Amino acid sequence: MSPFMLLFWNAVILVVSFFILWLICLKTRDVTPIDSVWALGMVALATTSFFLTDGQYTRKWVLLALCAAWGLRLGGYMLWRWRDHGPDRRYQAMLGKAEARKGWGFGKATALLVFATQAPLLFIVCLPVQLGQADGNTPLGIIAMIGVGLAILGIIFETVGDAQLVRFKRDPNNVGKVMDKGLWKYTRHPNYFGDACVWWGLFLIASETPYGLWTIIGPILLTWTLMRWSGAPTVEGRLHKTRPGYADYVRRTSGFIPMPPKKV
């Protein structure tokens, strides 16, 4: 199958899946599950690409396995967090503003502000695991090996960071406090740093193929989204208002790449 047809069928699968999920969310009046689908959807596209392409077999297995390890872990974690914490306040605030200021109903607001933005982002970010499997008989080289190591580092890093945060929040003595222990001592967003490592690693694996090199837009878009758009700015805006010591934490702690804390 040509790369064009691969992307076409993956896009069809993604649109149909998101349409079905949108219909479900209309019934539940809650779009929080989209966070789980963000990760699981990438695993789905990596899987369909595995069966629809005839690229180098080892590379295909590596891309699929790493994407699945990352996506199933993150998707499961987000699903658990939704069931444990309830609807995401970010979505509630965004949809509430759309209804109040623009007069949009729940269906229109969710379709335009959530699903119509998340679907193309998901599709572009996971281009490395799609086109990276599409062609190339070259065996895994040194660049791909570096990518494997980087992706594994990212999976471990964000898994540990998420576990540390869950444990911190479960302690009633930490209510209202800032999490600045473990990995959170060295970066304010170990989960985002881990995400970026995973997808830059997957890009490096894909980059040894003729089409994979062009998928660099995926990790670039993900990194920008996490640090400049819907990731860190949204989280930190809320924490500045709800955590009295968060400003000091920001001054001494790296915003992304793990670094020793500054002395303030």
Residue 9: left if φ>0, alpha if ψ -120 to 50, beta else—which one?
A: alpha
Tell me whether residue 263 is in a domain: no
Burial of residue 243, with CB atoms counted within 10 A of its CB: 0-12 exposed, 13-18 middle, 19 or more buried: middle
Q: What is the pLDDT of residues 180-190, one digit of tens each?
A: 999 999 999 99
**Domain encompassing residue 99:** 3-252
Tell me whether residue 118 is in a domain: yes
Tell me whether residue 169 is in a domain: yes
Q: What is the pLDDT of residues 204-232, one digit of tens each?
A: 999 999 899 999 999 999 999 999 888 78
Tell me whether residue 259 is in a domain: no
Tell me whether residue 262 is in a domain: no
Average pLDDT value for the chain: 93
Tell me whether residue 25 is in a domain: yes
- Split at pLDDT 50, 70, 90, the class of 85 is confident
Mean pLDDT computed over 146-153? 98
Rounded CA-CA distance 256/211 in Å is: 29
Per the structure, how many domains does the chain have? 1
- Return the closest-CA partner of residue 147 out of 51, 212, 210, 232: 212
CA distances from 231 to 138, 212, 213, 257 (A): 36, 26, 26, 15
Tell me whether residue 233 is in a domain: yes
Mean pLDDT computed over 170-179? 91
Tell me whether residue 13 is in a domain: yes
